[in-house]
Chains A and B, each alone.
Chain A
């Protein structure tokens, strides 16, 4: 298989560049997975958030507010100067600044008035939202007591409210053997893998096609006794080998994060999904490599396709947070279906053909994409050949 061997040589020649991409993207995915993975998903054992508390008055109500928050926040002492506070928020030393104005208690007891608690927080931060909810709960329940049992001391009303607030529903995990924190980590890593796979495979494989589609080389190949189909086939085999190797490497690295989960069935479904996706990326690379003879264009395409479909398909931003229209557009990319398949697996504890139907449907769609890319590429190749 001479063509196959030459293809591998070309890949080898391009290895310095390809390995730069590999190293950097793997590094990013590791950083992201380690830093973000658990924090994104830890809905129940939420870490305490850093909060600066400034009280303009000390009343039983304020003392109660401190107690109500104690379970969820770390009180960070800060100097009450605008610049210091700005800086603290800027560097995320605190995520939340809460200020009780003087006279708030009296205003509250009168039935709510012009004086409100003042908050400064980082918008769109989930942790800040939970603090908001907690404060609202405390004051809402306290308000019930103030209105219905006015004869009681404020101190007693606060004690009742705190007692009610201490009621926390026990949340049970249906499959306790699954590590709750790490569960999202593997999924996160595999989602991010879509970006790396698309990028590296398009760039790596296209280098082969670009060389082979160089006009004179192509002519020479076409004149050889091998036949165009045999050349294409061997070329494609080499690329498939490259895609397979990339996939294997990335999967092996997933063991770093997932060694606790890898024993579970979910990991195998992630890995299978990644393989199908790699085939998709290979098809796409084949198409791009055949559409252009320009290395710059390939580079551009790899960046746009990888970044674009990752953003829209839910690799960086969870699909739940994306708008309907965006998702509709995204569903025309294999990335969207890849992420969906991962999500379908993540939702399961019981794996059987029925529960996995969503997952397999997503795999089928991806396979369709892979085939479509290759078929379009073949049509393009055919056209070119007959045209020139």
Chain B
């Protein structure tokens, strides 16, 4: 009986287009999109010259020649507008330049609003002012030393080195992919939903038919869930393989444990879907809506669109992070990737199991009923 149901449930799930879409195709599509959008993130080549107005007071020729030299060529830092103050202000107001630098005894920077490019301008002006101050002091103390300065400044001295303290970098970018994986695990709820629909006589005719059969309902359900679990686990492995081998995302070295965690997450996702399907009263559309929204929104909160959000929520609204299964799954994979030790990972897996137990337990109390008040 187990084999019989298992075999056919497997085929049914495999041929179910919408389940396959949500649990496999959709994640792969998104991962590819992520990869396209983020692969350039932080890469130097994305730097675009900053539109800058410089108001020349005539008091600092060094600065003018410096910005001029930085405003030439392909890889220039600035698109320079050397203008009067009035004109510069007009350009700024019209959004044509990001900032105005005024030379003089004390340099001044005027911008429209805070932002990345504005920060770069500020750092640039600061650096110049600070270096100029040092140079002036040196010239005052030992005029002959002033000649050494250009050579010293040209030297590219290195003072810092990166020292990882863990087997892996704490990488924000990975959070995005981990949370995408978390979303995929939760979308596995689709499969759980299909299984509950196939056994609850009040949800489908096929299920009613199964209820007429001379076999224990829960045993039949478990056969179906086993098929769902095997298939879901296989799909998750496939998705992981796609990310690791096609998109070259580093999930760390602990392949065995990653697979084990993935298995737990597959179970969590399925039980989550079963939980929603059996407990929510309403049409299939509503159930799908809840399933999708919790998965997608949960993944957003776990850092799918902005990695920092995960930490901000963990510190600002801890209960929200706690009840969000996507956040827990993300954390589990991240802990496995990052920590040398297993404490965090084990803690997370215990919570994963607890969530699964709650979902499965609640589902059991609905499923075990064999007679219905209405169909």
B162 in contact with A119 (CB, 8 Å): yes
Instruction: Decide if B339 is an interface residue (CB 8 Å cutoff).
Output: yes
**Cβ-neighbour of B113 out of A90, A135, A148, A346 (below 8 A):** A346
- Most-contacted residue by chain A among B112, B125, B146, B339 (CB, 10 A): B112
A321 in contact with B46 (CB, 8 Å): yes
- Would you give the shortest CB distance from A128 to chain B, in whole angstroms? 10
Instruction: Decide if A59 is an interface residue (CB 8 Å cutoff).
Output: no
Chain A interface mostly = helix
Instruction: Decide if B137 is an interface residue (CB 8 Å cutoff).
Output: yes
Q: What residue of chain A has the Cβ atom nearest to residue B46's Cβ? A: A323
Q: Which chain B residues lie closer than 8 Å to A132 at the CB level?
A: 160
Instruction: Decide if B48 is an interface residue (CB 8 Å cutoff).
Output: yes
A31 in contact with B313 (CB, 8 Å): yes
Q: Which chain A residues lie closer than 8 Å to B149 at the CB level?
A: 144, 148
- Would you give the shortest CB distance from B283 to chain A, in whole angstroms? 9
Instruction: Decide if A296 is an interface residue (CB 8 Å cutoff).
Output: yes
Tell me the residues in window 21-36 of chain B with beta carbons closer than 8 Å to chain A beta carbons: 21-22, 26, 29-30, 33-34, 36
Instruction: Decide if B42 is an interface residue (CB 8 Å cutoff).
Output: yes
Instruction: Decide if A227 is an interface residue (CB 8 Å cutoff).
Output: no
A183 in contact with B113 (CB, 8 Å): yes
Q: What residue of chain B has the Cβ atom nearest to residue A86's Cβ? A: B166
B161 in contact with A118 (CB, 8 Å): yes
Given known pairs A86-B340, A323-B40, the reply for A160 and B137 (CB within 8 Å) is yes
Given known pairs A43-B114, A123-B171, the reply for A83 and B163 (CB within 8 Å) is no
State the CA gap A315–B17 with chains docked (Å). Answer: 30
Interface string of B294-331 (1 = CB under 8 A from A): 10110011000110110111111100000000000000
Q: What residue of chain B has the Cβ atom nearest to residue A117's Cβ? A: B160
Interface segment out of the listed A16-24, A241-249, A368-376: A16-24
Q: What residue of chain B has the Cβ atom nearest to residue A27's Cβ? A: B297
A89 in contact with B165 (CB, 8 Å): yes
Q: Which chain A residues lie closer than 8 Å to B292 at the CB level?
A: 299, 303
Interface string of A284-318 (1 = CB under 8 A from B): 00000000000110011001100110111001111
A170 in contact with B165 (CB, 8 Å): no
Interface string of B67-109 (1 = CB under 8 A from A): 0000000000000000000000110111100001000001111
Instruction: Decide if B373 is an interface residue (CB 8 Å cutoff).
Output: no
Q: Which chain B residues lie closer than 8 Å to A145 at the CB level?
A: 134, 138
**Cβ-neighbour of B92 out of A174, A299, A346 (below 8 A):** A174
State the CA gap A321–B173 with chains docked (Å). Answer: 13
A295 in contact with B285 (CB, 8 Å): yes
State the CA gap A101–B305 with chains docked (Å). Answer: 38
Q: How large is the interface on B (under 10, 10 to 19, 20 to 34, 35 or more residues)?
A: 35 or more
- Would you give the shortest CB distance from B217 to chain A, in whole angstroms? 28
B46 in contact with A122 (CB, 8 Å): no
**Cβ-neighbour of B159 out of A86, A121, A139, A303 (below 8 A):** A139
Interface string of A170-210 (1 = CB under 8 A from B): 11111100101001100000000000000000000000000
A90 in contact with B36 (CB, 8 Å): no
Q: Which chain B residues lie closer than 8 Å to A169 at the CB level?
A: 107-109, 122, 125-126, 129
State the CA gap A255–B109 with chains docked (Å). Answer: 32
- Most-contacted residue by chain B among A24, A118, A315, A349 (CB, 10 A): A24
State the CA gap A32–B297 with chains docked (Å). Answer: 12
Instruction: Decide if A355 is an interface residue (CB 8 Å cutoff).
Output: yes
B41 in contact with A124 (CB, 8 Å): yes
State the CA gap A141–B130 with chains docked (Å). Answer: 8
Instruction: Decide if B213 is an interface residue (CB 8 Å cutoff).
Output: no
Q: Which chain A residues lie closer than 8 Å to B41 at the CB level?
A: 124, 317, 321-322
B141 in contact with A149 (CB, 8 Å): yes
A316 in contact with B306 (CB, 8 Å): yes
Q: How large is the interface on A (under 10, 10 to 19, 20 to 34, 35 or more residues)?
A: 35 or more
B163 in contact with A120 (CB, 8 Å): yes
Q: Which chain B residues lie closer than 8 Å to A71 at the CB level?
A: none
A312 in contact with B37 (CB, 8 Å): yes
Q: Which chain B residues lie closer than 8 Å to A17 at the CB level?
A: 285-286, 289
Tell me the residues in window 197-241 of chain A with beta carbons closer than 8 Å to chain B beta carbons: none
Instruction: Decide if A28 is an interface residue (CB 8 Å cutoff).
Output: yes
Instruction: Decide if A69 is an interface residue (CB 8 Å cutoff).
Output: no
B114 in contact with A125 (CB, 8 Å): no
A41 in contact with B115 (CB, 8 Å): yes
B152 in contact with A83 (CB, 8 Å): no
Instruction: Decide if A58 is an interface residue (CB 8 Å cutoff).
Output: no
Q: Which chain B residues lie closer than 8 Å to A141 at the CB level?
A: 130-131, 134
Interface segment out of the listed A91-99, A270-278, A378-386: A91-99
State the CA gap A143–B134 with chains docked (Å). Answer: 11
Chain B positions near chain A (C-beta within 8 angstroms): 17-18, 21-22, 26, 29-30, 33-34, 36-43, 45-46, 48, 89-90, 92-95, 100, 106-119, 122-123, 125-127, 129-131, 133-135, 137-138, 141-142, 145-146, 148-149, 152-153, 157-166, 169-173, 282, 285-286, 288-290, 292-294, 296-297, 300-301, 305-306, 308-309, 311-317, 334-335, 338-341, 344
Chain A positions near chain B (C-beta within 8 angstroms): 14, 16-17, 20-21, 24-25, 27-28, 31-32, 35-36, 39, 41-44, 82-83, 85-87, 89-92, 97, 99, 108, 112, 116-125, 132-133, 135-137, 139-141, 143-145, 147-149, 160-161, 163-165, 167-175, 178, 180, 183-184, 295-296, 299-300, 303-304, 307-308, 310-312, 315-318, 320-324, 326, 329, 344, 346-350, 354-355, 358
Query: What are some 30 contacts across the A-B interface (CB < 8 A)?
Result: A24-B294, A43-B122, A82-B166, A89-B166, A90-B344, A92-B311, A97-B165, A112-B158, A112-B159, A116-B159, A117-B160, A117-B161, A122-B171, A122-B172, A136-B159, A136-B160, A137-B130, A139-B159, A160-B134, A164-B133, A173-B113, A174-B92, A174-B100, A183-B113, A307-B296, A311-B34, A312-B33, A321-B40, A321-B42, A323-B45
